[in-house]
Amino acid sequence: MTSSTKTYFGGPDKNKNLLRDILVEHIHAVPANGNIKWACYYLHDPIIFQALIEAAKRGVTIELTIDGRPRSPDVNQACIDQLSHHSAISINVVKIKLLWENFGIHWHPHLHTKLYFFSHPTPHVLLGSYNPTTGADYLDEGLISSIGDHSISHNVLVSVDDRDTVKYLEQHLHTLKNHKQRKFSRISSTHNSTFRSSTWEINFLPSLSTHPINTLLSKKHSNVNVKCAISHLKGPGILKPLKIAIKTGKKIELLLESSQRRVPIKHLAFLDKHNIKYYQPVLEKHCLMHSKFILYQSDQEHCVMFGSFNWSARSRLLNHEIIACAHNQEIIAAFEQRWHQMIA
């Protein structure tokens, strides 16, 4: 296997566990003395666990950083139980606590980033929306109902092998696992600036800077078409980017998750009121529209923005998230093709 910029999509029309198998393939390609470093919200898949154990036995050093207070804590507990006793595998459980929790307000941040680094065959990362979790074969009905079945859900992973970008993302993985740096990340220069390379623009949340979605949708371009795949559209103020886009005359289409928990009816009423075209496909049981991306096309710019971010107040204000923007035509074409497949 050779590393290159590739885009991988999972979904009900794809092979089950396609994205899981991509990660496993990348694990197998790392030899002794190599490194694997991941940060993710959920991690629970016996096939991945076994691949990581085998990698550790052959001399690969593995660092896993996972959220310590996800919506369904039992999911990540299996990872801790099965992998923590292997000496070559370190598991960093992140529990981000904010001041107001001392006063009984329990609206807390999540480590919601999905970022997967591999040192070999050449240093590269996979980033996107995919949580490495299994389906109904291993998780009980209660957990599947809560988090969805990511073995069949719409998700995306994109490989990045640009040297400077990979180095920057690897440093971010180090930051996420380091408590002191993470605690003050909101005011750090890293979280309040955009990293740029020849192909990539990378932003991290939380940030004091203008949200990248707001920046993109407020551009004064001509003949603008915007297509957004949104798994969560909820919370106060979250419609502001769409209001900006409407005000500046942009044509908007949305692909939304069908769950009212993720997309409440009152937000659909806003879309109807402003004649914003949206698709809300009803998928098979436990299958989510979990992809998160924005296709932006105008006379002046053509790009795709994607990552771990949701259109939610928690994601915008509290969570650790990653937002990547690519102007690479091959990547854009892959997302455009996938958009048409998904709305079909």
Question: What distance in Å separates the CA atoms of residue 263 and residue 312, rounded to the nearest whole number?
Answer: 10
Residue 17 makes CB contacts below 8 A (sequence gap 6+) with 47, 134, 135, 151
- pLDDT attached to residue 49: 96
pTM for this model (two decimals): 0.95
Q: Which residues of the chain have pLDDT under 70?
A: 1-4, 99-100, 102-103, 179-183
* Topology match between the domains 7-186 and 205-343: yes
- pLDDT attached to residue 4: 61
309 close to 290: Cβ distance less than 8 angstroms: no
Tokens at 230, concatenated: 């949104």
Tokens at 92, concatenated: 């960093």
- The single residue listed with the structure tokens 């994601």 is 315
DSSP 43: -
Q: Where are the domains positioned within the chain? A: 7-186, 205-343
- pLDDT attached to residue 182: 65
- pLDDT attached to residue 184: 73
In tens, the pLDDT along 213-272 reads 999 999 999 999 999 999 999 998 999 999 999 999 999 999 999 999 999 999 999 999
Report the CATH number of the 205-343 domain.
3.30.870.10
Helix, strand counts (H, E) of the chain: 11, 17
Amino acid at 5: T
- pLDDT attached to residue 3: 43
One of 3.30.870.10, 3.40.50.300, 3.30.930.10, 2.60.120.10 is the CATH number of 7-186, namely: 3.30.870.10
Triad 193, 300, 311: Cα angle to 5°: 50
